[in-house]
């Protein structure tokens, strides 16, 4: 590898050796992947979406294969915030020695505030990623992330009880992503994560019923990559806070494209489920791809398009 090639980035004050971050829900708490390779080569990783109470998740089947991706409706299965603080984070110290991204989900404003305040106290957490794609149970199940006002309200409430950088992870299932991202920035967000899954559905032709027990689920994989690149580019042009790009990333070239569109760090999601070495291979291939394109410093290309 060319020693002059620099993969490092700075994400809202958190220095990273490279921009690669396995996305929440595709990497667990890192333990299973640490048995395949030393996951300390990662820039960071976003651990499993965390709620106040433990959740069993949705009924099965939860996964549907698609031509160029997958649909999942796992339903935020997790042991709850107190169990994660008591067990998962201490165990993580043995195999991951960098700050992690804590993905927090909630079904009410109070739940977001409680979980973010608790996770903010944990030394291993470098960034808090707030998933506003959950249905607001107090307001008819509409996602917090589908209106600028609701997304801003969550952002303000969480920022009031935290000291660490807060990134708001937005749903792409909206007509105007820019106004929602801008509302989050104005409410104090330190960064934006784009995009969460698109809403999809498959039908079992023989059984004449939906493949997934939940009927619909989150569609991810290579097919959503152009949508993610477009949204990252749009938001980067109007917001002055960093973006974590996410959605269909599976190669080093995808990472560079996402960064050119405006992302400072890049999350890799469903590719991890298909190939446990996906992130390792991307990190190894980045210098080769950079050399091919005449890029010596990865941070130089952020938002150049």
Catalytic residues: 134
Distances, alpha carbon 88 to alpha carbons 51, 57, 103, 112, in Å: 14, 18, 14, 19
Q: What whole-number distance in Å separates Cα of residue 25 and Cα of residue 29?
A: 9
Q: List strand residue ranges (DSSP E) for 141-279, in order.
A: 166-169, 191-194, 198-200, 203-204, 209-210, 217-220, 243-246, 265-268
Q: Counting Cβ atoms within 10 Å, is residue 209 exposed (0-12), middle (13-18) or buried (19+)?
A: exposed
Q: Three-state SS for 229?
A: helix
DSSP annotation of 146 reads: G
Q: With beta carbons less than 8 A apart as the criterion, state whether 233 and 181 touch.
A: no
- Spatial separation of the C-alpha atoms in residues 279 and 288, rounded to whole Å: 15
Collect all residues with Cβ–Cβ distance below 8 Å to 118 and sequence separation of at least 6: 81, 82, 85
In the chain, what are the helix, strand and coil shares in percent, each to the nearest 5? 35, 20, 45
- Phi, psi (rounded to 5 degrees) for 80: 95, 155
Token duo for residue 220: 């991810």
- Burial label, 92 (beta-carbon count in 10 A; 0-12, 13-18, 19+): buried
Q: Do 157 and 188 contact (CB within 8 A), yes or no?
A: no
């Amino acid at each position: 590898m060319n020693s002059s090639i620099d993969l490092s980035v700075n994400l809202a004050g958190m220095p990273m050796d490279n921009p690669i971050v396995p996305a929440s829900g595709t990497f667990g708490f890192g333990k299973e992947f640490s048995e395949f390779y030393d996951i300390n080569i990662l820039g960071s990783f976003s651990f499993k979406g965390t709620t106040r109470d433990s959740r069993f998740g949705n009924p099965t089947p939860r996964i549907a294969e698609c031509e160029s991706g997958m649909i999942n409706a796992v339903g935020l299965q997790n042991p709850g915030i107190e169990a994660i603080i008591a067990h998962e984070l201490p165990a993580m110290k043995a195999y991951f020695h960098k700050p992690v991204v804590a993905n927090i989900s909630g079904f009410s404003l109070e739940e977001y505030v409680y979980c973010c305040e608790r996770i903010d106290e944990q030394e291993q957490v470098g960034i808090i990623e707030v998933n506003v794609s959950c249905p607001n149970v107090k307001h008819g199940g509409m996602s917090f992330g589908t209106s600028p006002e609701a997304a801003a309200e969550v952002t303000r409430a969480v920022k009031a009880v935290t000291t660490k950088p807060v990134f708001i992870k937005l749903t792409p299932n909206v007509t105007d992503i820019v106004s929602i991202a801008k509302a989050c920035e104005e409410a104090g967000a330190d960064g934006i994560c784009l995009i969460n899954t698109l809403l999809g559905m498959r039908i079992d032709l023989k059984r004449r019923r939906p493949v997934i027990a939940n009927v619909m689920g989150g569609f991810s994989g290579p097919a959503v990559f152009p949508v993610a690149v477009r949204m990252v580019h749009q938001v980067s042009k109007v917001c002055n806070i960093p973006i974590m790009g996410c959605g269909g990333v599976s190669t080093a070239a995808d990472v560079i494209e996402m960064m050119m569109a405006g992302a400072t760090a890049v999350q890799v999601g469903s590719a991890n489920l298909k190939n446990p070495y996906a992130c390792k291979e991307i990190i190894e291939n980045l210098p080769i791809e950079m050399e091919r394109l005449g890029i010596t410093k990865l941070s130089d290309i952020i938002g150049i398009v």
